[in-house]
Amino acid sequence: METKITIADLLDARRKNQKIAAISCYDYTTARLISQTDVQMILVGDSAAQVVLGFDSTLPATMDFMVTITSAVRRGAPNIFLVADMPFLSYQLGKTEALKNAGRFVAEAGVQMVKIEATGAYLDIIKTVSDAGIAVMAHIGIRPQSISKIGRFKAEATTAQMAAELISLADQMIAHGAGSLLIEGAAEEVAEIITKRCEVPVIGIGSGKGCDGQILIAPDILGLTQGPGPKFAKSYGNLAKQTIEAFNTYAKEVQSNKYPDAEHSYHMKSGELEILQKLLKDKT
C-alpha cells in the first residue's frame, strides 16, 4: 500500500461491509513488514509494557516510552492508519493533561487517532480531545488499565443488565465525539448490537465477528508468545520455534568458529596485507 489510509477509508470500508484488519505493533521492524500487507490499521498499544518490557500489566507504560515507540512504528509504516494508546495517568488527571498528551502523539509521532480506555467518568475527556480536532477511539469492555481495581479480568456484557450498560456506554462515547470504538472481551451478541447501532468503525478484540474489524497483537499472530494466552488469541505462524532454532544455530556456528566465514567478513585490498606486514617489520 502506498497511499496513506485515513479515517475516511475506514468509514468507507464499514459502509461497504468490508472488514478492517488491525494489528497491535510496537517496533519499526515489524511495522515495516506490516506496511507491505493488506492490514489497514496499527495500534501501538500500552500492552508493550508487557510484551516488550516484561511487566505483568500495562500500567508501567509511560508517555515518553509510548511516544518513542509510536514514532518508530510510524516510520516503519507511513501508509497505515495509526492509533496510539494513551497510557495510564496520561488522561486520568484531567482535560488539560489529556489534551497535552494526545497532542504529543499527533505532533511527535504522527498518529491519526488516540485510544482512551473509557468509562462514563471520562466522557468530558473524550469530548475535550475530540473538540480539539484529535480523533479518539474509545476503548470499552475489558479495560486493562483497571486491573488494580478489579483484580481479574472476565468477559463483559454476558448478562442482559451488563449488556444494556455497555450499549449505553457506547452510545455516550459516540455522542461525546468518539470517532471509533474498540470493544474488548465482550459477548459477541452485544458487540454486534453496538456495531449495528453506531456509525463509526468498531474494532473488536475477543468480542466476536460482528464488529467492523478485528485486532490482535503482532507477537500472538506470529506465534512468538509462549504459554497460554487469552481465549481469543490466535497464532498464524510458529516463529517462536523457528527463532529459537535460528539463535541456537548461530550460537553453535560461533562456538565452532564456523561464523563468520570469508563471505561475511571484510578484507584488505589485494597486495595491501603484504605492504602492511613490511611496514610493521620495518618498525621492529
Supply angle C-alpha 21, 108, 25, rounded to 5: 30
245 is catalytic: no
Write out 169-223 in H/E/C secondary structure.
HHHHHHHCCCCEEEEECECHHHHHHHHHHCCCCEEEECCCCCCCEEEEEHHHHHC
Which of 117, 156, 184, 192 is catalytic? The answer is 184
Contacts by residues 106-112 (CB-CB < 8 Å, ≥ 24 positions apart): 106/134, 108/67, 108/71, 109/44, 109/67, 109/70, 109/71, 109/74, 109/82, 109/84, 110/71, 110/74, 110/82, 111/44, 111/70, 111/74, 111/82, 111/83, 111/84, 112/6, 112/7, 112/81, 112/82, 112/83
Closest CA to 153 of 161, 143, 162, 163: 143
Integer Cα distance of 211 and 191 in angstroms = 6
Q: Which amino acid is at 146?
A: S
Asked if 114 contacts 86 with a C-beta cutoff of 8 angstroms, the reply is: yes
| Residues classed as catalytic | 184
